[in-house]
Amino acid sequence: MPVNPHNEATALSPARTLQVLETALLTTQEPLSVTELRKLFDNALSTAAIVKHLEELRQKWRDSGIELVSVASGWRFQTKAEMQPYLEKLSPQKAPRYSRAVMETLAIIAYHQPVTRGDIEEIRGVSVSGSILKTLVARGWIDEVGHRNVPGKPALFATTQHFLDDLNLRSLQELPPLEEMKALIESDNKQLELPLSEPDTSEPPTC
Amino acid sequence: MPVNPHNEATALSPARTLQVLETALLTTQEPLSVTELRKLFDNALSTAAIVKHLEELRQKWRDSGIELVSVASGWRFQTKAEMQPYLEKLSPQKAPRYSRAVMETLAIIAYHQPVTRGDIEEIRGVSVSGSILKTLVARGWIDEVGHRNVPGKPALFATTQHFLDDLNLRSLQELPPLEEMKALIESDNKQLELPLSEPDTSEPPTC
Amino acid sequence: MSENQVIDPVAAQPVARICGEPLLEIPQDLYIPPDALEVFLDTFQGPLDLLLYLIRKHNLNILDIPMAELTQQYMTYVEMMRVDQLELAAEYLLMTALLIEIKSRMLLPVNPKAETEDERDPRAELVRRLLEYEQIKKAAERLNELPQAERDFSVIQILIEQKAAALLPDVNPDDLRNAWSAILARAKANRHHQIKREALSVRVYMSQVLRDLRGHTQIEFFQLFPASATVAEVVVIFLAILELAKELLLTVSQAQDSGVIFIHAANASQSA
């Protein structure tokens, strides 16, 4: 069967294909989608073929210090958590660890997006300093997606694809689910009966 | 004999050692010196042992699209040139080019260092805007190494190690010889001069 | 037992840990002793957080809080907070006001015509907010437990040979030679331009010597020669030192015959 001369990429051996995929994934910091990876071969390989090769690559690296993972915007190589103690010896400056204020703000944006600064303050019960939002914007985890049509036109914040990538998530659905909280007051009032049942009972509490 | 708990790194198996080295080199774009790599193991491994492992790693990667190379400030992974055609398909936009002014300034600093801005202007015959030097400083390719002891104490600029790394050079001696320059160190050439004369070899100078 | 006792932090066992921070005393009410104020402000995110803690850990009934006394105490430390934590003080104050309002409304008979839940039980809105906050607080903790790039793992990115990262302009050594040739061609065409005649190697080592001197006022002559230097390199380094001395970029001194020779950075004292 003659090889289509315009589809030279199809002529690549499986080993070479794997080599090209591996090189591309090792060189790009941003995850690569399958659509992008197909461009490497002038779209001569099907999505299924690419995915099959990616699985093979994942297997190949299984026993190393790095792993091939699939996150929101595509596939990328990253180090395994067990390597972190070693890597930290090289760079004395620690990765940022965020304060509770930052993490709570992030959680509100992640679970209730899009939200305004006012919404965040309403939930936390304290004012949100501009520096908290700036920290999250600078990290590329949140951005402004619009303005609410109320006086002052406050900016609406939402989480970004980069946020999902950085947390190894493929979508917001993979966020830990919000938990139901135990009731706060021993109620003598039926309407207020927030889930009084203990968490170990089988019945899921309802609000 | 009990293992010193503070020197756990010595207990690493050769395979694990290789894994840690590989991971560290894959995560940093900057070359890592052997001194730095030793830190990964709390200096429990000798320089010779590290180099031996690096050679082993180099062998391991030989048949891939990536190679482990040794440059001026250490070791790093980089793509093989043969991968370039594929990688270019991913990001179709070409890297921008520096203006002639920037290139000439860089050439003067590289071949004629250390020089002041005045020196550069004298050679180029035109004034050198501050932004040109800023561009090169920001790139990490040149820096101030002192001041000339004349009125105004102008800063002296020289190229950096980073410049060599980015151009894949081990030392300034590896810069393309300006004809006779090559003979500098090894020969007993008398007073050498920069090629004021046109390169009398085959190629005509390009503008 | 005094309600607002201050337990000696050294002797005291932490009664609880909040985010790993030991809490050394049990607040019996919302009053925060002045000495512990800063710890408290660091420990709690705000009045909702504090109230939540009191209710969850101490089964505090929000209705049993002695409001009058509490208000008195709150005012004292709100005064103290005002200096640099005015906003936070205001939020605690607001919470106090809210609690007082709830309490006062609870004392009134329920309006039989009340339609909304909030009107039937003034606690409803506060409870809703507390639960919502608690849910987010938990979510934030779990979010923080997820593996995080840079903190728990690194993304692999190795260098693409021949192409600088982030689309920085690409330069290769030949570009440099071409640039230099261009300068020369122009200089020659224009006029007899003054271009200093220097050996590259001397220039290279001049930079190196200056770098070695950086951060030192003086350095021993021999330290400028690496142990690994070849004979040719030693000669060139020496020439570089002489050249630098000639250009007044450094000075050479020797206190006595055959004594130690020191190299001083010429501008070490004056330059910024």
In-domain check, residue C30: no
Average pLDDT of the segment spanning A103-124 = 94
Average pLDDT of the segment spanning C92-96 = 78
Between C156, C163, C230, which is nearest B26 by CB? C156
Residue carrying structure tokens 């909030």 = C118
Among A40-44, A77-81, B23-27, C199-203, the minimum mean pLDDT is found in C199-203
What is the pLDDT, as a whole number, of residue B194?
35
What is the pLDDT, as a whole number, of residue A131?
83
Find the CATH number of the domain harbouring C236: 1.10.10.580
Identify which has the larger pLDDT, C119 or B197: C119
Distance CA B110, CA C203 (A): 9
Residues of B in contact with C161 (CB under 8 A): 78-81, 84, 168
Q: Dihedral sign for Cα C2, C4, C7, C8, please.
A: negative
C41 and C130 together in one domain: yes
C51 and C135 together in one domain: yes
pLDDT band at B22 (very low <50, low <70, confident <90, very high): very high
pLDDT, tens digit (0-9, with 9 covering 90-100), for A62-108: 999 999 999 998 999 999 989 988 988 886 555 678 889 999 999 99
- Most confident segment among A50-64, B121-135, B189-203, C37-51: A50-64
What is the pLDDT, as a whole number, of residue A111?
93
Total count of domains within chain C: 2
Calculate how close chain A gets to C74, using CA atoms only, in Å.
17
The last residue of one of the domains, among C108, C128, C144, is C144
Interface test with C, best of B149, B181, B182 (most C CBs within 10 A): B149
- Measured at the alpha carbon of residue C165, what is the angle toward residues C161 and C171, in degrees to the nearest 5? 65
In-domain check, residue C173: no
- Most confident segment among A44-48, B26-30, B182-186: A44-48
In-domain check, residue C69: yes
| Residue C201 pLDDT > 70 | no
pTM of the predicted model over 0.80: no
Q: Rounded to whole angstroms, what are the CA distances from A115 to A109, A145, C123, C128?
A: 6, 10, 26, 18
Q: With both helix axes pointing from N to C terminus, report the angle between C173-190 and B100-112 in degrees, rounded to the nearest 10.
A: 100
Containing domain of residue C262, as a range? 202-271
Q: Please report the domains of chain A, with CATH numbers, ordered by start residue.
A: 5-87 (1.10.10.10), 100-192 (1.10.10.10)
Cross-chain residue pair A111–C142, CB shorter than 8 Å: no
Cross-chain residue pair A81–C153, CB shorter than 8 Å: yes
Mean pLDDT rounded to a whole number for chain B: 76
In-domain check, residue C21: no
- Three-state secondary-structure class, residue B82: helix
Q: Six-digit token pair at C143?
A: 């979010």
In-domain check, residue C106: yes
Between B95, B171, B193, which is nearest C168 by CB? B95
Cross-chain residue pair A29–C155, CB shorter than 8 Å: yes
What is the pLDDT, as a whole number, of residue A124?
93
Identify which has the larger pLDDT, C168 or B17: B17
What is the pLDDT, as a whole number, of residue B163?
87
pLDDT, tens digit (0-9, with 9 covering 90-100), for A129-159: 888 898 898 788 999 989 898 899 999 999 9
| Residue B98 pLDDT > 90 | no
Identify which has the larger pLDDT, C164 or A115: A115
pLDDT, tens digit (0-9, with 9 covering 90-100), for C25-77: 545 555 555 566 666 666 778 888 877 877 776 666 666 666 666 666 666 66
The last residue of one of the domains, among C144, C167, C190, is C144
What is the pLDDT, as a whole number, of residue C152?
82
- Three-state secondary-structure class, residue B205: coil
Calculate how close chain B gets to A154, using CA atoms only, in Å.
37
C136 and C220 together in one domain: no
pLDDT band at B187 (very low <50, low <70, confident <90, very high): very low
pLDDT, tens digit (0-9, with 9 covering 90-100), for A16-37: 999 999 999 998 878 899 999 9
Cα A130 to the chain's mean position, in Å? 24
Residue carrying structure tokens 């509100």 = A108
What is the pLDDT, as a whole number, of residue C217?
79
Mean pLDDT rounded to a whole number for chain C: 68
Nearest CA in chain A to C46: A126
* CA dihedral angle for residue A78, residue A82, residue A87, residue A93, rounded to 10 degrees: 100
| Residue B3 pLDDT > 90 | no
What's the DSSP call for residue B145? Answer: E
What's the DSSP call for residue A11? Answer: G
Interface test with B, best of C176, C238, C243 (most B CBs within 10 A): C176
C49 and C139 together in one domain: yes
In-domain check, residue C190: no
| Residue B60 pLDDT > 70 | yes
| Residue C18 pLDDT > 50 | no
In-domain check, residue C227: yes
What is the pLDDT, as a whole number, of residue B180?
34
Distance CA B27, CA C141 (A): 28
pLDDT band at B125 (very low <50, low <70, confident <90, very high): confident
Identify which has the larger pLDDT, C23 or B108: B108
Three-state secondary structure string covering B29-73: CCCECHHHHHHCCCCCCCHHHHHHHHHHHHHHHCCCCEEEEEECC
Contacts 24+ apart (CB under 8 A), B167-173: B167/C171, B167/C172, B167/C173, B167/C176, B168/B69, B168/B71, B168/C161, B169/B71, B169/B72, B169/C173, B170/B71, B170/B72, B171/B72, B171/C204, B172/B110, B172/C200, B172/C204, B173/C201, B173/C204
Between A26, A79, A90, which is nearest B66 by CB? A26
Residues of C in contact with A124 (CB under 8 A): 45-46, 48, 133, 136
Average pLDDT of the segment spanning C179-194 = 54
Distance CA B144, CA C202 (A): 18
Average pLDDT of the segment spanning B53-82 = 89
What is the pLDDT, as a whole number, of residue A12?
83
| Residue B102 pLDDT > 80 | yes
- Bond prior to A114 in cis (omega within 30° of 0): yes
C44 and C140 together in one domain: yes
Interface test with A, best of B6, B19, B35 (most A CBs within 10 A): B19
Nearest CA in chain B to C216: B146
Calculate how close chain A gets to C68, using CA atoms only, in Å.
22
C140 and C238 together in one domain: no
Average pLDDT of the segment spanning C240-269 = 75
What is the pLDDT, as a whole number, of residue C11?
36
| Residue A56 pLDDT > 90 | yes
C209 and C139 together in one domain: no
pLDDT band at B9 (very low <50, low <70, confident <90, very high): very low
In-domain check, residue C177: no
Query: What region does A16 belong to: left with phi over 0, alpha with psi -120 to 50, or beta?
Result: alpha
